[in-house]
Amino acid sequence: MADHRSTEPNPGTLAVHGGEPRKKAFDSVTTPIVWSATYAFANTAEIERYFTGDIEREEYGRYGNPTVRAAERKLAALEGADDAALFASGMAAATTALLELVKAGDHVVLTNDCYRRTRQFVTRFLARLGVESTLVEPGDEAALRAALRPGKTKVILAESPTNPYLRVADLALFARARQACPGANLIIDGTFATPVNQRPLAEGVDLVIHSCTKYLGGHNDLLAGAVCGRKGLVEAIKDLRGVLGGVLDPQSAFLLIRGLKTLPLRVHRQNETALAVARWLERHPRVRTVFYPGLESHPDYRIAARQMRGFGGVVSFRVNGDARETSRVIDACKLATIAPSLGATETLIEQPAYMSYFELTTEEREAIGIFDDLVRLSVGLEDAEDIIGDLDQALSA
């Protein structure tokens, strides 16, 4: 009989128990919400022990909270990280990490399809601080290597899968390229994948960023972000978090812990549903193109099949029609809700040209790859046949 024992619990067990002590305060089964901004010391000797590192405890809410730390430990366990730092939003996590890792005169390389607000922060805000940047096409190894400036490049940043075309970065390729640039940190935004489908740290990545608002929270009821990675890097980012102040509140941390406990169940269901929906859409006469890494037609299918344990819950597709006809499809949906997020229990649908890029003209949108007929669908936990039925009647409307 095969020996199924391993040194690390399976993801489902980690999601429930990872990072949490067996015995909790007040004998509670769940991690309590600690609503306190200030923490008392018994005497001066305890203060000295705290600042010399002899004891681990809280001092002030901007530097830590017991409920937040419990959520950080659980997320670190799921990612296979030494440590994790939580923030008030995904952008707070990304911007704080970048501000810690670069200074005037440094250089950042990022793929041109990573989250648009992250691109905006690097190319506009960091540029004002004297940080240079280079955008490269995803999957272009030659362009990536050519963009690196040994001694100056301090961050290589990519998202995988990306929004909205679900491009999958070859993490091993990025890790190999980074070897030519000592001192550079490789960061992956893993929001769309979650630790259930992909663990970038095991592929040589230094830091993983998440918008916990999406799959990790999973219920459309919290705003949070996270950075996971090796201890020294995360500790430095936490120190800067204490200065900048983008901390997470304990109520949101409690909701995140609750969401993480069901993360594998939800993601596995969404993986299955999204693949079924993507295959159905590929056969529909009113659909021009489908973008989903679990389809063999996707340009990164082979990378995704090798690197990921599931293909995710987001499917993008282009309708055979113009902007108005595409809007009519969106408006005709009765089950899918029109909303700008993803990764939750409810199926959400949007037309990126109007939801995220409304201020641009059609020509300006097409120049950055956003077509008026593009639809992004984030499948929820409804039955796959009901989601498909809703799309069928909407496309036929």
Q: How far is CA 152 from the centre of its chain?
A: 27
Q: Is residue 2 part of a domain?
A: no
Total structural domains within the chain: 2
Q: Is residue 3 part of a domain?
A: no
Tokens, residue 78: 């799921």
Contact 93, 85 (CB under 8 A): yes
Active site residues: 62, 115, 189, 214
pLDDT tens track for 111-136: 999 999 999 999 999 999 999 999 99
CA distance 122 to 125: 6
Torsion angles phi and psi, residue 204, rounded to 5: 100, 5
Model pTM? 0.93
Q: Is the domain of 53 the same as that of 183? A: yes
Q: Which pLDDT score is estimated for 20?
A: 82
Q: In the chain, which residues have pLDDT < 70?
A: 1-7, 358-359
CATH value at residue 280: 3.90.1150.10
Q: Is the domain of 119 the same as that of 195? A: yes
Q: Running DSSP on this structure, what letter comes out for residue 126?
A: I
Q: Running DSSP on this structure, what letter comes out for residue 132?
A: E
Q: Is residue 18 part of a domain?
A: yes
Q: Is residue 175 part of a domain?
A: yes
CA distance 304 to 197: 10
Q: Which pLDDT score is estimated for 6?
A: 52
Q: Is the domain of 121 the same as that of 57? A: yes
pLDDT tens track for 260-291: 999 999 999 999 999 999 999 999 999 999 99
Q: Is the domain of 384 the same as that of 248? A: no
Q: Is the domain of 255 the same as that of 185? A: yes
Tokens, residue 235: 């500790």
Tokens, residue 109: 């390389």
Q: Is residue 5 part of a domain?
A: no
Tokens, residue 385: 């046949």
Q: Which pLDDT score is estimated for 30?
A: 87
Q: Is the domain of 26 the same as that of 159? A: yes
pLDDT tens track for 141-180: 899 999 999 999 999 999 999 999 999 999 999 999 999 9
Q: Which pLDDT score is estimated for 7?
A: 66
For the chain, what is the mean pLDDT?
Answer: 94
Other Cβ atoms within 10 Å of 240 Cβ, number: 15
Q: Is the domain of 222 the same as that of 304? A: no
Q: Is the domain of 149 the same as that of 185? A: yes
Q: Is the domain of 370 the same as that of 334? A: yes
Q: Which domain holds residue 311?
A: 263-396
pLDDT tens track for 318-330: 999 999 999 999 9
C-alpha distances (whole Å) from 95 to each of 119, 122, 136, 176 are: 11, 9, 20, 25
CATH value at residue 112: 3.40.640.10
Q: Is the domain of 185 the same as that of 283? A: no
Tokens, residue 365: 């949108």
Torsion angles phi and psi, residue 303, rounded to 5: -65, -45
